[in-house]
Amino acid sequence: MCIAIFENQHQFANEKPLHSVVVAKKINKYGEMTIILPLKEGTYGISVLDDVNMDNTMNYHLGTIPKEGFGFSDYYHNGLLKPTYNDFKFKLKANETKEVKVKLRYML
C-alpha cells in the first residue's frame, strides 16, 4: 500500500507529496488495516494506492480508468475525474490523535 500525505492542492495536483510511505498490506478479518502516522499540527490530505503490481504508481486501463484500488482521507470518491485536495483535507491540532478513514475504490 502506498500512502501519500499532502499539505495543499499544488502538491496533490503535481503528485509531489510532503511525505510518502509504503507499507505491507495486512488486512484483518473485517477487511480493515490500521496505520499510525506521526504528524504535527497542520492541515493534511491522505491518499492511498493499493499498488498491486508494486511499481509505485497508479496503473490505468485505456489511459483513464484506474486498474488499482485508491482512496482518500475521510472521502469516498465517486467521480471519474480526480478529486481536489479540498475534498479530502483534514485539520490536526497539536497533540491530537485523530482517526481518519480511507475506503478504497476499485473500478476494474
User: Is the residue at 58 inside a domain?
Assistant: yes
User: Is the residue at 104 inside a domain?
Assistant: no
pLDDT at 4: 98
Whole-model pTM?
Answer: 0.92
CB 105, CB 79: distance < 8 Å:
no
Q: How many CA atoms lie within 13 A of 74 on its CB side?
A: 12
pLDDT at 50: 97
pLDDT-above-70 percentage for the chain: 100
The domain total for the chain is 1
From 101, 107, 108, 104, select the one nearest 34 (Cα to Cα).
101
User: Is the residue at 99 inside a domain?
Assistant: no
User: Is the residue at 70 inside a domain?
Assistant: yes
User: Is the residue at 43 inside a domain?
Assistant: yes
User: Is the residue at 31 inside a domain?
Assistant: yes
* Residue 9 pLDDT greater than 90, yes or no: yes
pLDDT in tens, 64-87: 899 999 999 999 999 888 999 999
User: Is the residue at 100 inside a domain?
Assistant: no
User: Is the residue at 105 inside a domain?
Assistant: no
Averaged pLDDT of the chain: 94
pLDDT in tens, 36-57: 999 999 999 999 999 999 998 9
Range of the domain at 42: 2-92
DSSP state letter for 102? B
